[in-house]
Structure 1
């Protein structure tokens, strides 16, 4: 087992809980620090235009906290590449930016890019992010034909949308069918020279089959499932639970 972490904790749900009241707690930055201290690789946030969970002020605080207290850890900004989001990426200079094709009103990211329609946009925004020294990733559907299209746009990595897999009971026939699609996409990304990330509805139960067959996955971004687990086990212990599921620690 490796001590290297692949877990990036998405703290959007923490921010959503905080935003229910006009109070400064739970403190997003402090909870992120607990996750990093416990062994998470990094923190992911998706600052939407309406700031219904993560706020721009949170992004600044998280970036400052990571740079001063955890300089070896990573910050990933996720979002649709409109002018406001690109300005935030340029200003913050996170380790990684994940471009997603979300409508502002969407509840969560639930589909990959339409490369036939959006390739020119993606080429431009990827070039901009790279000029700022930011690693780039594109959200793609679990389809083996998609990684090559992402590579053509200039991306460094893809993040495979694992929602259909996560929606199946772990170990069920439907789950195994979706796992085959994920593995085919991950292998195609490797063949295209891309790094491979994965995210959406991943849990301590459905991670082991995925990571066992695709140990080259560099990062998993987990938010809803992580926070649900942490309500029972606590933030630090959930980091350890997910890292055990990732075969990183015993």
Structure 2
């Protein structure tokens, strides 16, 4: 079974269109957790264009006080500010991404070999009891990438599924992307890394992904789930994504 972590960045981005407190990021976290999500994912960026620093602390308090079994996954580039935030909040999982601050969204994984020394030092700094470290991975990282990722001391990789998600109208290309994802996941498992996945996963493309890439421990889903929630509500969207992931 693959656990569902709901990314709330899109909720925060909608809220930030006005100087008003709604939609509430904390309130929506309650909704999705009550509906069966296993955790919450956020990716705070320096310009606070969606998740704000205050959201990070508010969500940490919510999970600690009301949902102690739920996991808090914080994504980000390992800057000094990010280090300080992680130490202050102590999430269950840290997902490191090689984002430039100006990027609209994550669009590539780490060069595990080229950034190996840097990532090793970052992982050592962030490792703590009851905190796992995951590294964002290109879908075609393969065996060499998996071995280099393992050498950093990380616990998991997160497969970047954006290219697969972009194949919604091209079944032939989707099959190629799935094969690359499956190879990288298999290589990661072979060296003892756990595997997460995220980016542009939807109710339409999740079943094929689940069939082709077994053993994914957690899927972090935000944009697709939020789009579906506009039609069916967040609680029902979570239930439907859970139904797919549970199979």
Let me know the Cα RMSD of the aligned residues.
1.3
Q: Report the counterpart of residue 98 of structure 1 in structure 2.
A: 95
Residues 184-220 of structure 1, C-alpha deviation per residue, up to 9 Å, x if partnerless?
0110110010000000100011111111233310000
CA distance in 2, matches of 1:247, 1:132: 28
Q: Report the counterpart of residue 240 of structure 1 in structure 2.
A: 239
Residues 53-107 of structure 1, C-alpha deviation per residue, up to 9 Å, x if partnerless?
0011100010110111111110000000000001101110000000000000000
The 8 Å contact of residues 170 and 205 in structure 1, kept in 2 or not, is answered as no
Q: Report the counterpart of residue 72 of structure 2 in structure 1.
A: 75
Dislocated runs of 4+, deviation >6 Å: none
Shift of 1:171: 7.4
User: TM-score, normalised on structure 2?
Assistant: 0.96
User: TM-score, normalised on structure 1?
Assistant: 0.95
Q: Report the counterpart of residue 187 of structure 1 in structure 2.
A: 186
Q: Which of the numbers 26, 29, 32 marks the counterpart of 1:29?
A: 26
CA distance in 1, matches of 2:154, 2:169: 31
Residues 132-180 of structure 1, C-alpha deviation per residue, up to 9 Å, x if partnerless?
6421000010121321111011110000100110000277111111110
The 8 Å contact of residues 178 and 212 in structure 2, kept in 1 or not, is answered as no
Paired residue secondary structure (1:23): coil
Q: Report the counterpart of residue 39 of structure 1 in structure 2.
A: 36
Q: Does 1:226 align with 2:225?
A: yes
CA distance in 1, matches of 2:8, 2:169: 24
Select between 168-177 and 30-39 the one with higher mean Cα deviation.
168-177
Q: Report the counterpart of residue 45 of structure 2 in structure 1.
A: 48
Q: Report the counterpart of residue 136 of structure 1 in structure 2.
A: 133
CA distance in 1, matches of 2:170, 2:6: 24
The 8 Å contact of residues 170 and 206 in structure 1, kept in 2 or not, is answered as no
CA distance in 2, matches of 1:216, 1:179: 14
CA distance in 1, matches of 2:170, 2:102: 33
Q: Does 1:89 align with 2:82?
A: no
CA distance in 1, matches of 2:47, 2:37: 28
- Number of corresponding residues: 245
Q: Which runs of 5+ in 1 are unaligned?
A: none
